[in-house]
Chain A
Amino acid sequence: MLSEADLKQLDAVFSPRSIAVVGATATADKVGFNLVDSPLTSGFQGEIYPIHPKLNELLGLKVYPSLEAVGKPIDLAIIALNQYASVDAVETCGRLGVKGVIAIAGGYKEMGEEGEKLQARLVEAARRYGIKILGPNTLGMINTHVDLCSVFYPLKLARGDVSVLSQSGGVGLSLMHTAADEGLGLSKWIGVGNRGGLEFADLLQYLAYDSHTKVIGVFMEGTEDARSFVEVARRTVKHKPVVVYKVGKSEVAQYSALTHTGTIATPHKLAMDAFRQFGILPVSSLRELVAVCKALSLSDLPKGDNVGIHTHTAGPSIVIVDELAKRGCNIPPLQEATIQKVEDVIGENPPIILKNPMDVAGLGFVAEPFGRVTEAMLEDPAIDILVAVYCLHKNWRWPSQELIRAKQKHGKPIVACYISDIAGVKEDREPLRAAGIPVYITPEEAAYGAAGLVSYAKARQRGV
């Protein structure tokens, strides 16, 4: 458990006013160059001190020959040296009172016994001086609220309130790009690496404390401190959801995880059951992780697990029902009064059976009556949350205004599925977002989002 003082120190490390890049280079294909380019690309307004023994200037920044030569306080040092030199650099940081270090290099615990010893030296050096150390073997960290990207892939991400812990750089990048496509802003992205200093549980505790984080997404291969992680999660989920995508189901995957970050894997079912016991929401793909985080970021929670589906296209609603049922959602029948209201909208004796999912194919695709059907369904006391499913059409507009009005009027969450390409939903996404309605372009993701809201509501009600 981290103390209040530790958490304050981590605030300074993750929202630094000054950063040093140790091992900066002028060659664009090197990590040391990109770690300098990265905060510039993201528009970081704090001080950036590149460190190199011979260079004078890099990307318009003054280069310092050593950490000592900076002569000003450094909140965060990003170390791009090899695994051996990194140990000495941490020592130097310690003497200079640097608050935190990101150790980028690999070649530690994931390499076996010798690497494990080297990692122990690195971590011990940090511990001796009270430095918080992220990594080693990490892509780095991003904090959009101070416009800082310190991963060696220069990026500028949209701001948001979803923070991410990732045990993989590549998967973490995939998550960032998927989130960007989904119009989902991030708050912090933290590559946990080998977790030599800051463990999953520590970082989770920090994100629980962080005021810029509303939802926490985790990509996990495995961790020795799983018990502490779930214990911290149990406290966290009382006020912020924790969504975990854990891999390592197959034996081959378990072996790969060991050589990747030096952690053996636990039986998959055991981990999933333990997560649920402690109120964590387990997901089984990257897209599901993003979809659930997006729903939890945007939408309020349903009162129960009863999902209504309104559509004009049967197939996608069947896909959605399947995915919802797998995730413990209920698809209840509608009340007679609701059916009556729908009949009032679409006329008597329609050539369709009126039920839940409500497929009003006969209407074609007309936004205004769709809005009235949506309202009738939301009014039904049997329905806690609505999934609204429509397909992109050249001549018919999305019923976004109607959905927003219905949500405002009835105060129940709505998840929209606009079957389209990204370009087809771009204009509608922002007003829907502002109204707290997540919109997805595939039926599976819409189901993931709705089920995520239901699961978190249940976990909260269960009171883990």
Chain B
Amino acid sequence: MNVEQILAGAKDGFLLEPESKGILAQSGISTTACRVANTADEAVKLAEEIGYPVVLKALSPQIVHKSDVGGVHLDLNDASAVRQAYQRIKGATRVIDPEARATVQPMAAKGVEVIAGLTTNPQFGKVLMFGLGGIFTELLKDVSFRLVPIEELDAREMIGSIEGNGVLEGFRGGPAADVDAIVDILLKVSTLAESYPAIAELDLNPIIVYPRGAVVVDARIGVSRGRVETRSAPVRLPK
């Protein structure tokens, strides 16, 4: 399916991971494979095809934050580990969504984790965000923003302006990360957001960056066809 077809079939809200990654792949952004298993047996079969080690992730329209509900199992090395992970996902998601399934994905090699995002701001419109993975973004809020559309120079400045950018240059003897690959992803996300007004939110978290190349390991895309509110929800009263 192409991007139009995926979006045409989607309701407002978050797309599932296979659809989100489908849109990214259509846009020329490299992602890890994401194949749907309806049973534990199917999961094992897919894992054998993909090759170990693999990752199992819960797949349900009710579950946006998969790892928060025990829906992500990493580094599974054989059939019994896959079978067990599938059952644990079913167990963990039973109350939220008894119909929940799982996706089987290759376990990506280690690299530098970064995050790219898109939000729709009531005042500025579509905004791209870039940050490093883990505490850099979540705790230290070390992120940079640019309004869509961006040019290559904007993408480079976005990456260069975060405090922790030294991590990309090879920290403690590690190899330097492929900044050009990140630039490429940011530019493609910008083009995607500009081309499809319905794409209101996007979260590529994490993207693993290698000395050569980068791959999106987890992704979700938020669709909204409603007019963007010019006044968002009331500001929370200070305590």
Q: Could you tell me which A residues sit within 8 Å of B by CB distance?
A: 222-227, 230, 251-252, 254-255, 258, 264-267, 269-271, 273-274, 276-278, 462
Contacts and interface: CB of A to CB of B under 8 A. Distances in A.
A196 to B, nearest CB: 14
A224 B124 contact: no
Nearest to A270: B145
B235 A230 contact: no
9 closest A-B pairs by beta carbon, nearest first, are A226-B123, A273-B145, A270-B145, A252-B238, A227-B125, A226-B124, A266-B123, A224-B230, A255-B235
Given A264-B235, A269-B143, A462 B122 contact: no
Nearest to B237: A255
Contacts of B127: 270, 274
Given A227-B124, A264-B122, A277-B154, A269 B235 contact: no
Q: Is the interface of A mostly helix, strand, loop or mixed?
A: helix
Given A254-B235, A274-B145, A227 B154 contact: no
A274 B147 contact: yes
A282 to B, nearest CB: 13
A265 B141 CA distance: 18
Contacts of B141: 269
A278 B125 CA distance: 14
Interface string B152-180: 01100110010000000000000000000
Nearest to A269: B145
Contacts of A222: 123
Contacts of A278: 147
Contacts of B145: 267, 269-270, 273-274
Given A230-B147, A277-B154, A462-B153, A270 B121 contact: yes
B231 interface: yes
B238 A251 contact: yes
A448 B139 CA distance: 30
Interface of B: 121-125, 127, 141, 143-147, 150, 153-154, 157-158, 161, 230-232, 234-238
A227 B125 CA distance: 7
B235 A274 contact: no
A264 B146 contact: no
B230 to A, nearest CB: 5
A274 B231 contact: no
A270 B148 CA distance: 12
Nearest to A250: B238
A274 B146 contact: yes
B10 to A, nearest CB: 26
Contact of A277 (B121, B146, B232): B146
B237 to A, nearest CB: 6
A271 B124 CA distance: 8
B215 to A, nearest CB: 26
B235 A270 contact: no
A89 B93 CA distance: 64
A178 to B, nearest CB: 28
A266 B121 contact: yes
22 contacts: A223-B123, A224-B123, A224-B231, A227-B123, A230-B147, A251-B236, A252-B238, A255-B236, A255-B237, A264-B122, A264-B123, A264-B234, A265-B235, A266-B122, A273-B145, A273-B161, A274-B127, A274-B146, A277-B150, A277-B157, A278-B147, A462-B153
